Amino acid sequence: MYVGVFADIEGSFGIWRMRQCRMGTREWQYGRACLTADVNQVVAGAFDGGAARVLVKDTHEVGFNCLVNKLDPRAEYLGGHYIKPSLFGDITGLDLVLYVAIHAGSGTQDAFFPHTHYGIFSELRINGKAVAEMDIYGGYLGELGMPIGFVSGEDIAVAQALATLPWAKAVVVNKKKETYTSGEKSRQYLTAGREQLRRTAAEAVRCASQMQPLHLKGPLYFEAVFRTEELARKFNTWNFPRQGATVAWEAADMIEGFDKLNRLTFLPKNLYPIRRPLAFVMRNYFRIKNTYFAPQPDSEGAS
């Protein structure tokens, strides 16, 4: 079995504030260590459960958040954004996806760092329903025949994910500062939490036959509500229908809809003809920067 371990960062054990997720900061360098520790436990669990091959796909911001030299050497690593064969790169043949460190969707009250796909949106809707990333990514991967069978993150994010992916196994992560700055008690919580990641990932792989690719029946009507009307005007270079701060488009399926979402957020019309060399340059720039020029970590008193 070929298992993909997809990794965000906000839902990692050990992380409690936004700056620990913001690329380039000293606190993010600490957050990278937290994420890498979580990913390693899920990778180990995937192999425990019977995976023959594991691919780690880093999806937060521009990718390259995991500390590659600290990753389980049995796993392959894929960072950065791509154009072909998918935004996630070459994920051909994955039988199951385990999604680590997810967060709640844009507009979710009382959630830690809620956003969907990109921080410029106050809400994303499909056919009138507010959605989070597990709806969008799950639907996209589902049309490629790949089910999401595991999620980890704060309770609100996990609840949103399970409402869409009821078959998935899940681990809930605490987001309170005191959980990670209380000495021995914090170390015990981290150890127990990461052991749970490993056990639950293994269970998900063993139960892979019960997991279902998510299929959202088309046609699909997308609405991206930007945080301001000015942002909507700035990002809508493709002239999708717009009313105030809301940009809308139709798609026959999630693959088409996700492509248009990425055009709206990452691929302005004037850069679209050079998208492939641009993606190549960006991947390599951030790979080098985040590998060799990252700041020293600041754990802010975390255990």
Average pLDDT over residues 125-142: 98
Q: Is residue 123 part of a domain?
A: no
Is residue 303 predicted with pLDDT exceeding 90? no
What domain range includes position 179?
Answer: 2-110+144-213+273-292
Q: Is residue 47 part of a domain?
A: yes
Instruction: Name the band, by pLDDT with cuts 50, 70 and 90, for residue 16.
Output: very high
Average pLDDT over residues 158-165: 98
Is residue 64 predicted with pLDDT exceeding 90? yes
Is residue 95 predicted with pLDDT exceeding 90? yes
Q: Is residue 188 part of a domain?
A: yes
The rounded distance, in Å, linking the Cα atoms of 144 and 90 is 12
Q: Is residue 256 part of a domain?
A: no
Average pLDDT of the chain is 97
- The pTM for the full model equals 0.96
pLDDT, tens only, 231-251: 999 999 999 999 999 999 999
pLDDT, tens only, 28-59: 999 999 999 999 999 999 999 999 999 999 99
pLDDT value of position 109: 94
- Total domain count for the chain? 1
CATH code: domain of residue 26 = 3.40.50.10780
Q: Is residue 298 part of a domain?
A: no
Q: Is residue 16 part of a domain?
A: yes
